[in-house]
Structure 1
Amino acid sequence: MSSTTTTTTPKPLPFIYQFGAGAIAGVSEILVMYPLDVVKTRQQLATTDAYKGTINCIKKIVREEGFSRLYKGIAAPILMEAPKRATKFAANDEWGKFYRKQFGVTSMTPSLAILTGATAGATESFVVVPFELIKIRLQDKTTKFNGMLDVIKDIVTKNGPLGLYKGMESTLWRHIWWNAGYFGVIHQVRSIMPKPKSSSEKTLIDLTCGSIGGTFGTMLNTPFDVVKSRIQAGSTRYKWTYPSLVVVAKEEGIGALYKGFVPKVLRLGPGGGILLVVYTAAIEFFRTIHEGK
């Protein structure tokens, strides 16, 4: 690891503040961007060209199933977003402290930011899987379920409690790649940005860094997200991540590994910016409370 420092790392807040800030950021992002997640899932599950583009998919869903369908299954993500995003940012901060101590550096470096993000992504996966599984089952056009409890009952009845962790391996890879790209790029972009002179400039920089990081993370992890969606949708043809990548590419072409990329990047690009802006603002608010004690 390089010991070159590019940014000064502020003193971390206690875990509870990191968790709370991540939860607030996550729920804010999902409320704004959820319909794009529905579109992304539909495109990833389709083995034909049923949905030719993001706008076409939205129009088709609204025309055939009603506008409310764009928010089908949102209860699971809402319940998931608090622990998911809280775990993402809290784990990133906690692993950052751990790695800085292990490698004897006081500030984050580019390679350390990538390693920390990847480890945080792996940690986050353990929280995410059951909620992701429920969401995918509800977003599928052929779903027979009316809500979360229907999905949970069906899975537990057929496969037991561990059935809620179907797709764990593919989810692990998806989050490792996204978080490594997201936090790694944020660190790099921030290091070349000018020092903000006002709160509005700081917000703009955070939005820019987060959006670029979210876009890059999406470019890295979309193929893993495609096979994860298919595994969790219940297909028996896809079992393990990397062999499934080969199957999809061989049968449908390399481009199929990027099905749903446009709505996904439209969500997680700006969504990554929203996450970082809200998280940073929440952390600063909590810091004033903590230091004022």
Structure 2
Amino acid sequence: MSEMSITTALLGFVPGAVGGVCNVFVGHPIDLIKVRQQIGTATASTASTTAPSRQSSMMPIRNGVGTLGMLRSIAHAEGLAGLYAGVTAPRLAVVPAFAITFSSYEAAKAWQLRRRATFQSSPQAVLTLKESAIAGGCSGVPLALVIGPLERIKCLMQIDKSQYSTFSSSLQSVYRDGGLRSVFRGTGLTILRDVPGNAAYFAGYESTQRTLRLSEPSLPDVLVTLLAGGMAGVANWIVAIPMDVIKSRWQTAPTTRYRNYQHVLQDLLAREGPAALFKGLGPALLRAFPANAACLLGVETVKTLLS
């Protein structure tokens, strides 16, 4: 491997790992609310251990209960630890997932710059926003392959603590249900979510950074990074939330509930209407800004130290 390849990998892998830890620590409680809104549950009851179906061991969300109300409800019913239900899965995934995301993005950027140098005599050293979006989309595939199975476990742990209490027991239970096919259930939908979502994420980050540095050149770099990181997260979820809803339904439903991805969409639209595709958008956006601001600040800080 050349020195340039090693540098490119390091400038994505190590900062991405640090940024991922920051993201999970700040954002997991709100992610819990997002998943429960998408599935239609507020708290996971620990009383019913003999529920005939996965859905019956969960308390339904009351109409009008917002994100903050759900946070209070979960903290009251399950304790502060309940706000981090299912955190083992993203904690295990976060280092490889975010490291792969950012290293893949840096590699895709480097490839586009090399390709540009081949066809242009005086190529620019900065990618266009379109090229940043393409590089971001490329990073979505390896991310989804890593995080898809772990999101399957995370979602189950977030909605039903009585049946899925620990990561290892949940993984064993899912594997017994249908082997690796069951573990990887929903990974295809994760790819369909993360490719456009990551494209919006990185294009949003670059766009906000450039806009702020042109319009407000006196802003400190730290503030620019925080604002751009927050807006990147917002852009990601505005694009990704419909597919994320379908993914959450598919990954948490009994295997006999839906025939395929299209059946999930048809059932969702028939029962709840198009607005259901945006369930969980409120908490997703509420989480996105601080979690991704923290993530990108961690990424840029480590990149600076490495450079």
Report the TM-score range of the alignment, normalised by the length of the smaller protein: 0.7 to 0.9
Judged with a 3 Å threshold, the aligned counterparts in structure 2 of structure 1 residues 280 and 225 are, in CA distance, closer, same or farther, namely same
Distance 1:25 1:210 in 2: 11
Once the 2 structures are TM-superposed, how far is the Cα of residue 20 of structure 1 from its aligned partner? 1.3
Judged with a 3 Å threshold, the aligned counterparts in structure 2 of structure 1 residues 238 and 179 are, in CA distance, closer, same or farther, namely farther
Equivalent of 1:42, from 24, 36, 43? 36
Q: Which residue of structure 1 aligns with residue 7 of structure 2?
A: 13
Distance 1:205 1:239 in 2: 46
Q: Which residue of structure 1 aligns with residue 282 of structure 2?
A: 262
| Contact 2:153-2:170 within 8 A present in 1 as well | yes
Equivalent of 1:191, from 203, 210, 217? 210
Share of identical aligned residues, percent?
26
- Normalization by structure 2: what TM-score? 0.83
Question: What letter corresponds to residue 35 of structure 1 in structure 2?
Answer: P
Q: Which residue of structure 1 aligns with residue 251 of structure 2?
A: 232
Root-mean-square deviation (CA, aligned residues, Å) is 2.4
Q: Which residue of structure 2 aligns with residue 114 of structure 1?
A: 133
Distance 1:147 1:46 in 2: 22
1:117 is paired with a residue whose SS is helix
Question: What letter corresponds to residue 33 of structure 1 in structure 2?
Answer: G
Distance 2:262 2:112 in 1: 28
- Which stretches in structure 1 are left out of the alignment for 5+ residues? 1-9, 288-293
Once the 2 structures are TM-superposed, how far is the Cα of residue 62 of structure 1 from its aligned partner? 2.3
Q: Which residue of structure 2 aligns with residue 251 of structure 1?
A: 271
Distance 1:22 1:234 in 2: 32
1:68-79 aligned within 5 A: 68-79=81-92
Distance 1:101 1:151 in 2: 45
Judged with a 3 Å threshold, the aligned counterparts in structure 2 of structure 1 residues 239 and 122 are, in CA distance, closer, same or farther, namely farther
Q: Which residue of structure 2 aligns with residue 291 of structure 1?
A: none
Whether 1:181 aligns to 2:200 is: yes
Distance 1:248 1:43 in 2: 14
Whether 1:132 aligns to 2:151 is: yes
2:165 is paired with a residue whose SS is coil
2:7 is paired with a residue whose SS is coil
Once the 2 structures are TM-superposed, how far is the Cα of residue 133 of structure 1 from its aligned partner? 1.0
Equivalent of 1:157, from 176, 179, 201? 176
| Contact 1:227-1:244 within 8 A present in 2 as well | yes
Equivalent of 1:213, from 202, 224, 232? 232
Equivalent of 1:59, from 56, 72, 76? 72
Work out the number of aligned pairs and report it.
Answer: 277
Question: What letter corresponds to residue 264 of structure 2 in structure 1?
Answer: S
Equivalent of 1:102, from 112, 115, 134? 115
Once the 2 structures are TM-superposed, how far is the Cα of residue 204 of structure 1 from its aligned partner? 0.6
Distance 1:244 1:160 in 2: 22
Equivalent of 1:86, from 99, 102, 123? 99
Alpha-carbon displacement from aligned partner over 1:209-235 (angstroms, at most 9, x marks no partner): 111111111111111111111111134
Question: What letter corresponds to residue 75 of structure 2 in structure 1?
Answer: V
| Contact 1:22-1:87 within 8 A present in 2 as well | yes
| Contact 1:42-1:141 within 8 A present in 2 as well | no
Distance 2:93 2:210 in 1: 32
- Which stretches in structure 2 are left out of the alignment for 5+ residues? 42-59, 118-122
Distance 2:265 2:289 in 1: 23
